[in-house]
Structure 1
Amino acid sequence: MPKINILCFTVLCFFFSCQTKAQTENKAVPADARSADKASIVLNTNKADCISLPFGYSDLSKRTTEESVLSAIDDKNKLKELNDLRFEKSIKKDLIALPEEYHVILPFSTSVNEKYDRISMASDFLCYGDHSLYFMAVYNTVRYAEPFIEKIYLVSTKGGKLIDMKRIYLNHQGEMGFASYTLFNIDKNYIISLQNYELTENPFQLKPVQQYQILPSGKFARYYDRDGSYKNNEEQGTVKNHLKEGKWTETKSNSTIELQKNPEFTDPYTYLEAEYKNGLPSGTWKFYKLLQNYNEETGEPILNTRKKGALIYTEMYKNGVLEKREFQ
C-alpha cells in the first residue's frame, strides 16, 4: 500500500498556504502559476481502502437541541468511526496555514494561522469516479493534555493533484463554555450535509443544514434539493440542476473585512451581488456595505431593515477561481 511520506505532505501544506495567499492578494494570479501550486503528491490509491457510504452522522435532522448536539459530539462510537479512518501518517509542524470557515461559508473565507502539533491524512478515502477524496484531520494538542480531532477536511484530488478542500467536521471549544461544532453526513449519492452549531450566551438556535455536491471538476459547490427560485434570510437567487445559477444577492458576515483596519465598519456584514455558473463563482462580484438596524435587547440584526450601502470591493472569477480583488 503506498504511503504518504513527509516530503509529500509538506508539499500538501505548501499548496494550502499558496492557495490561501492567492485568495487574499489583490493582484491577478496567472493560470500557469496556479497550476504549478497543485504539485503531484503520493496518496493511497488502493481501491480496497475506499469506504462505503453513507458515512458520518446520519441523524443530523434529530440533533435539534443543545443536549442532542453535545451527546453527538461526545458519542464514543462515532468518535471511534472517525478514528477508524486510519489517520496514520502525520507531520509535526509548529505553524500551518489552512483555509478556515468558522462562522461563514465559501466564498466568504479567510485564513488563520493556528498552532497544532499533529496533522494527519487518513489511509481510507472516498472513491468518486476519476476523483479520490481524502480525509485530513487536524488534532488540537496545544490546549488539551489529551489530543483530539478538532477539524476534518475533505480533500478532493485527481491523478494525485489537489483540486479543492472543504472542512466537514469541527469540535472547537472556546472560553466560558462557548463552542463551535460542525457535524457531517455523506450520503450514498455523495451529497455532503453539514450542520453548524454555535453555543454562546444567547439562547440555542439551530442553523440551517448546508449541503454540497462534488462537481465533475472535483470542486465542491452548494447543493439545493429543489430547482427554481430560492430565498432565505441571507441569500436569494435561482437554482438550476441543484446548483446556484445566474445572479444572486447575499447578505452575510464577511471575514474579508478587517474591522480593526476599517473602523468605519461597525460590523462585518456585506451586501453581495454575485453571479454563478454551474454552481461556481463567475464574472464580477460586487461587495457593498450592508446597512441594517439591530434589536436593542438581543443585539440581533433586524432583517427587514437591510439595504445596500457603499461599494467596498469587487472580485473577478474565472471557472470558479478568484482572479483579482480590488478595494475601492
Structure 2
Amino acid sequence: MSEPIRVLVTGAAGQIGYSLLYSLANGDVFGKDQAIILHLLDITPALGALGGVKFELEDCSLPLLRDVVCTDQETVAFKDIDVAVLVGAMPRREGMERKDLLAANVRIFKSQGAALDQYAKKTVKVLVVGNPANTNCLICSKNAPSIPSENFSCLTRLDHNRAKAQVALKVGVTTDKVRQVTIWGNHSSTQFPDVRHAKVTLNNGETKQAYDAIQDENWIKNSFIPVVQKRGAAIIAARKLSSAMSAAKAICDHLRDWWFGTPNDDWVSMGVVSDGSYGIEKGLVYSFPIKCQNRTWSIVQGLEINDWARDLMTKTAQELIQERDDAFDATK
C-alpha cells in the first residue's frame, strides 16, 4: 500500500461532494492500492452537515481511507495537498447580475489560489468545478504563481460525457463505442460540442466517422449541439436541483485520466490554459481535445477546422474573454 495522498474537496457538504466522496475514498479514481486522506472544506454554517458526511464515510468502512479532515479554514484545508477539487462557488441567485456573480467568485478563487500557493504541494493537480468554471480556474491560477499553470484545469468532462451519450443514443450503441468527441470553449451554453472528428464502432463491429454513422447533419446542428449546450438547465428544470451524480462521475473521469493517462485511440475534453493552439488567445482557460500521459496533458494538434466550426469556437472564446475582463475588473 502506497503512502496516502491528500485530496481536498471544497463545498464538500453539498450535493456534488456527497455524490463524489465515496468514489474518491473507495479507490475508483486513484487506484485500489492508493491510500487517501480527504480534506473537506466548507463554509462555517455547513460544518454540522460536513460532520455528518464524515460519519457516513467512516460507516462505509473503506480500507483506503486513512483520515477525514473537516474544516472551514483554508490554512488547514490546503496544507500539503496532492489534489484539489474546487467544487464550492457562489451560485447565481435570482435577480443577481452577472458581474456580481463574477465578483463574488473572484473573491473565493483569488483566496483559494493564494492558499494553494502558500500551503499546497507545488505538484498539486487542481480541478475547478464551481461555475463559471473556466474563469474561476483562470483566477485561481493567476493567484498561485509558484504552481505551474499546467497543473490547473476546469471541468468540461461532464459536457464531453453528455456529448458521447447523445451520439450513442442516436446511433444505438453503448457509450464506450463513441470516441474522440470534443468540447471546445467555455463550460456554458456557448460551448461547441464537436463530433466532426469522432468515431463510432457500430454493433456489427464496423468503425465509422460519427457523421457517417449518424447520417443526419440537421440533427447534429439543430438537436445534438443545443441539447448538450443546455443540458444543465434542462436538469435544473426537471430536478429543481443542478447536476450532481453526473458531475461527480465526470470529476472522477477527469481525475482518473489525468492521473493514469488516456487511451491511445481516444482523447478527452479539459479546460486548460491555452498555449495559442487553434488560434485561441494564449492564457485563456479554454476546453480543448486533450491527451494525458505521465500525469501531464497535451492538446491534440492538427484537427481540421472549417469555417462553421471556427465561428462557433470564436463565439465561445469571445464569451471567455468578456468573462475574464469582467473578473479582472472586479479585482480592482
User: Scaled by the length of structure 1, what TM-score is found?
Assistant: 0.27
Task: Name the structure where helix makes up a greater proportion of residues.
Answer: 2
Q: Name which structure has the greater RCO, CA cutoff 8 Å, separation 6+.
A: 2
Which one has the bigger strand percentage?
Answer: 1
